[in-house]
Amino acid sequence: MRVGLGFDAHRLTEGRPLILAGVEVPFALGLAGHSDADVVTHAIMDALLGACSAGDIGSMFPDDDPAYEGASSIALLEEVLRVVVENGFEVTNVDVTVICQEPRLGPFRDSMSSNLARACRVKPGAVSIKATTTEGMGFTGSGEGIAAAAVVLLSPAAGIPT
C-alpha cells in the first residue's frame, strides 16, 4: 500500500468559470491558472503522483507548456491514472478537503465525487469530498483564493506481486 498527500491553491479572479472536481460551480469568480485551475483535481493528482513516486503535476504538466493552456484537469487526472497503473498500482480511495469561505459546495458534492471516481477508476463511494471554511482567516477566508488538500491510498494492482 502507498499513501500520497497533495495540496493546491489558486487565486480567485474575474472572467473565468469556477471548476472544482470537474464541475462548473456557479459563482461570480473563477480560479486563475494555466489550465482550468481545478484545485481539487490538482491536489489529487499530486497525491497520486507522490504515492507512486512519479514526481508532481508541475513536472508532468508544466505551466509554461501551451499544450496545457485551458486544459481540463479531469483529462489530466486520467493521464496521471495511466502513470499510476504503469507503476503497478490502483486507487483504493481518495479523500479531499476543499478550503473556501464560499461558495457552498454541498449541492455539487455528488457530481464532483462521480467525476473523480470515474477518472480514478473507482466506485463513487471510494471518493470523499468535504468542504471547510477558515472562519474568515487567511487567503481562503478573505475570499482571495481556494485551496484543497487530498490524501490517496494506492494498492498493488490485481495480479502484481507485493
pLDDT in tens, 72-93: 999 999 999 999 999 999 999 9
Sorted by where each begins, the domain ranges of the chain are: 2-156
Which stretches of the chain score pLDDT less than 70?
159-162
Per the CATH hierarchy, to which homologous superfamily does domain 2-156 belong?
Answer: 2-C-methyl-D-erythritol 2,4-cyclodiphosphate synthase (3.30.1330.50)
pLDDT in tens, 138-151: 999 999 999 999 99
Instruction: Return the pLDDT at 158.
Output: 79
d(CA 35, CA 162): 36
Helical (H) or strand (E) element with 93 = strand 89-99
